[in-house]
């Protein structure tokens, strides 16, 4: 028996086929069109391509699991809102299933599916529990606790990005002030970098980005590497904010592994070494024999596909 | 089959006998002595009294579950540190078992046991999941997630009080700055009240407490009731801090019920009404059809006893 996963993204629809250990046997990616019907068509097409790539037939696959952005109802297989994709109350699971001969099709939030993927065959392989966060436009997160994908009683759990760490701080898209996401996402880092540039016109940051629009998540790391003090201060604060939320999650959940993904993680030890230093000061269990391991995510863009595929086994 | 629970407190050792639904059939409480051997003797004695009170015999009881303060190892049944009780690396489960004819004896952190008690026969009865917090000297918390006591891979989970909500804020006993406990515990409220009194010598708070030492968790509520503006401001900030951490926990975990216990909850709607208002603004799921219910804990001091008794069934 094989398992199909689909990662529905704003740019591409990617599908893959795995075995029951979550090993990816074949995958395919096609551009994501607009409109619910066209998206469902593209999803079905990506599945056919991936199954072919894996040298299998659809009959050999038991299920499809879809990792979708936005607000979803996993029980009913409905995407309530995924504004980037223009989806509004779309019964996506059923639409995909109908296009693939009625194959059982499950739907899950993309951050949850990515966490499951990392748990099954990435950073959390063989562990008791994993919390995954992704530093991107927002701060996505999901968790597998004691071998099961954790979604809360209403499927809305793990909006960890909307944990306030600086009460009264930066306004967040969710309406709160001082959310972790507002500081620790790539967007948060870019905002802090821009603020620092506006305050320091002599900073070397201006040599790497001649306008504020050109700043990206790499800019402050490059400037800090080149010795710029302002960039170093931006990063020191960024690390403190990131560590603050991670230590909060560890103090609450004590997962065996906490994995951090997203483009910023390409910085490797430039990010992880100071982050570990901060956690060594901040964690309640800093002196304990058994501590949560904080590591970089391993699967990159495949996490959602693999997690989607593994949904029927870990719900 | 019946179940025995012991709540080991700084003042009293309380034991109780329950049926498998966690209904308390008899209980007994005796003063807690000092020294490991004397404490184990008192625990065994409280069990004998409770069993007698329930009109049962020890043979009819299958297990003892101990709710202990401090740092513990539930697997080995050892209390590492419980400084208030003077316990240091004490194999308490074995010592209690030895005094009661070898009855299987389990050990758990008292906040976790209290959460389990509320889940089985209090505020979380019949629900999928519950997070419990207790506002006292510290801010204790525990959780039952999807029907199982959640302790993390290293048994150190749910130190929710040590979630930073105001980065760089008040120093906490754990070494961090700005922890939820430093603001939202009874101790935090007392500290805020004292700070306000020092800044406002004309406040009616001084009529209720003629020295700072006389301030307790009730003082600001009484003064606010009497119309004191300073006390009202203290409480408004207190509610915001309390709601901030609760909204964080809800956004992360989405338990079906979140129950709040401790002396401050005797304020009833004076506390809960403004708290619900704040959560209606702060929760990510504020507009969702299914929201976490925030309620007052129901079992008071019996939560630890009942949770201790229920340990073998919910681990």
Whole-complex ipTM: 0.96
Average pLDDT over residues A182-206: 97
Q: Which residues of chain B does A166 touch, with a Cβ-Cβ cutoff of 8 Å?
A: 166-167
Q: Which residues of B touch A145 (CB under 8 A)?
A: 145, 150
pLDDT given for residue A195 in this prediction: 98
pLDDT tens across B41-87, in order?
999 999 999 999 999 999 999 999 999 998 899 999 999 988 788 89
Chain B residues close to A248, C-beta within 8 Å: 163-164, 248
Tell me whether residues B154 and A288 touch, CB distance under 8 A: yes
Option in B153, B254, B292 nearest A254 (CB): B153
pLDDT tens-digit series, residues B192-239: 999 999 999 999 999 999 999 999 999 999 999 999 999 999 999 999
Nearest CA in chain B to A253: B157
Query: How large is the average pLDDT for residues B180-185?
Result: 98
CB pair distance less than 8 Å for A248 and B164: yes
Whether B151 sits inside 8 A of A254 (CB atoms) is yes
Q: Is the pLDDT of residue A84 over 90?
A: no
- What's this model's pTM, rounded to 2 decimal places? 0.96
Contact B285 A154 (CB under 8 A): yes
Residue in chain A closest to B257 (alpha carbons) equals: A153
For the segment B272-278, the average pLDDT, to the nearest whole number, is 96
Q: How far is B226 from chain A (nearest CA, A)?
A: 29
Encode pLDDT of B108-146 as tens digits.
Answer: 999 999 999 999 999 999 999 999 999 999 999 999 999
By Cβ distance, the residue of A128, A162, A284 closest to B174 is A284
Contacts of B279 in chain A (CB under 8 A): none
B contact test, residue of A284, A290, A291, A292 with most B CBs within 10 A: A284
Q: What are the chain B neighbours of A251 within 8 Å (beta carbons)?
A: 159-160, 162-163
3-state secondary structure chain A: CEEEEEEECCCEEEEEEECCCCCEEEEEEEECCCCHHHHHHHHHHHHHHHHHHCCCCHHHEEEEEEEECCEEECCCCEEEEEHHHCEEEECHHHHHHHHCCCCCEEEEEHHHHHHHHHHHHCCCCCCCCEEEEEECCCEEEEEEECCEECCCCCCCCCCHHHCECECCCCECCCCCECEHHHHHCHHHHHHHHHHHHHHCCCCCHHHHCCCHHHCCCCHHHHHHHCCCHHHHHHHHHHHHHHHHHHHHHHHHHCCCEEEEECHHHHHCHHHHHHHHHHHHHHCCCCCCCCCCEEEECCCCCHHHHHHHHHHHHHC
The answer to whether B165 contacts A165, with C-beta atoms less than 8 Å apart, is: yes
Which residue of chain A has the CA closest to B149? Answer: A146
């Amino acid at each position: 028996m094989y398992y199909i996963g689909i990662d529905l993204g704003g740019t591409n629809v990617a599908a893959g086929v795995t075995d029951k250990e979550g090993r990816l046997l074949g995958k395919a990616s096609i551009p994501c069109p607009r409109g619910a019907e066209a998206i469902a068509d593209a999803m079905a097409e990506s599945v056919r391509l991936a199954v072919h790539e894996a040298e299998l037939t659809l009959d050999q696959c038991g299920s499809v699991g879809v990792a979708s952005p936005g607000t979803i109802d996993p029980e009913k297989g409905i995407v309530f809102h995924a504004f980037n994709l223009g989806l509004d109350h779309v019964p996506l699971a059923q639409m995909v299933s109908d296009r693939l001969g009625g194959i059982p099709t499950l739907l899950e939030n993309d951050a949850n599916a990515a966490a499951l993927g990392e748990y099954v065959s990435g950073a959390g392989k063989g562990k008791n529990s994993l919390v995954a966060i992704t530093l991107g436009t927002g701060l996505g997160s999901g968790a597998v606790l004691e071998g099961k994908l954790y979604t809360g009683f209403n499927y809305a759990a793990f909006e960890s990005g909307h944990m306030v760490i600086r009460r009264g701080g930066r306004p967040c898209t969710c309406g709160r002030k001082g959310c972790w996401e507002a500081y620790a996402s790539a967007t948060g880092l870019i905002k802090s970098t821009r603020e620092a540039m506006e305050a320091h016109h002599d900073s070397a940051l201006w040599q790497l980005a001649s306008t504020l629009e050109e700043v990206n998540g790499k800019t402050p790391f490059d400037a800090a590497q080149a010795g710029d003090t302002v960039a170093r201060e931006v990063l020191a604060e960024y690390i403190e904010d990131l560590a603050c939320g991670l230590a909060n999650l560890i103090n609450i959940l004590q997962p065996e592994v906490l994995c951090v993904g997203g483009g910023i993680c390409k910085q490797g030890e430039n990010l992880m070494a100071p982050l570990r230093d901060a956690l060594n000061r901040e964690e309640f269990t800093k002196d304990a024999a058994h501590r949560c391991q904080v590591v970089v995510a391993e699967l990159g863009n495949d996490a959602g596909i693999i997690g989607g595929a593994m949904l029927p086994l870990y719900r």
